[in-house]
Amino acid sequence: MSTRAEKVSIAVIGAGGVGSCFVTQLASLAKSRPSPKLSLIYLAIIDRALYHQDYAPIPLDNALEELDNFGFEPPSISDIIHFLSKAPHKVVVVDNTSSQAIAESYPAFLKGGISIITPNKKAFSGSKELWDQIFSSVGPQGQGPFVYHESSVGAGMPIISTLNDLVETGDRVTRIEGVFSGTMSFLFNSFSPINGEGGSWSASVMRAKQLGYTEPDPRDDLNGLDVARKLTILGRLAGMSIESPTSFPVQSLVPQELSGCSEFLDRLPEFDDRMDKERQEASKANKVVRFVGSLDLAAQKAKVGMEWFEKSHPIAGLEGSDNIISFYTERYGRLPLTIRGAGAGGDVTAMGVLGDLIKILRQI
Active site residues: 230
Shortest CB 354 distance to ligand NHO, Å = 13
Q: Which residues of 250-260 are buried (b: 16+ CB within 10 A; e: fewer)?
A: beebbbeebee
Q: Which stretch binds ligand NHO (CB under 6 A): 98-106, 127-135, 231-239, 251-259?
A: 98-106
Cβ neighbours of residue 54 closer than 8 Å, sequence gap 6 or more:
none
Shortest CB 1 distance to ligand NHO, Å = 38
Strand positions, DSSP E, 23-117: 37-45, 48-51, 90-95, 115-117
Nearest to residue 39, comparing CAs of 14, 61, 15?
61
Residue 179 or 364: the one with the smaller Cβ distance to ligand NHO is 179
Shortest CB 316 distance to ligand NHO, Å = 18
**Binding to ligand NHO, residues 151-190 (CB under 6 A):** 151, 155, 181-183
Q: Given the DSSP bridges, would you call strands 37-45 and 48-51 parallel, antiparallel or unpaired?
A: antiparallel
Residue 66 or 276: the one with the smaller Cβ distance to ligand NHO is 66
Task: Report the C-alpha gap between 257 and 235 in whole angstroms.
Answer: 32
Of residues 119, 145, 218, 235, which one binds ligand NHO by CB under 6 A? 119
Of residues 4, 16, 88, 277, which one binds ligand NHO by CB under 6 A? 16
Task: Report the C-alpha gap between 39 and 147 in whole angstroms.
Answer: 19
Shortest CB 273 distance to ligand NHO, Å = 26
Q: Which stretch binds ligand NHO (CB under 6 A): 12-20, 52-60, 167-175, 356-364?
A: 12-20
The verdict on whether residue 209 carries a ligand-binding annotation is no
Residue 173 or 179: the one with the smaller Cβ distance to ligand NHO is 179
Cβ neighbours of residue 123 closer than 8 Å, sequence gap 6 or more:
103, 104, 106, 130, 131, 134, 149
Nearest to residue 216, comparing CAs of 10, 16, 5?
16
Q: Interface residues with ligand NHO (CB under 6 A)?
A: 13-19, 44-46, 74, 96-99, 102, 119-121, 151, 155, 181-183, 226, 343-346, 349
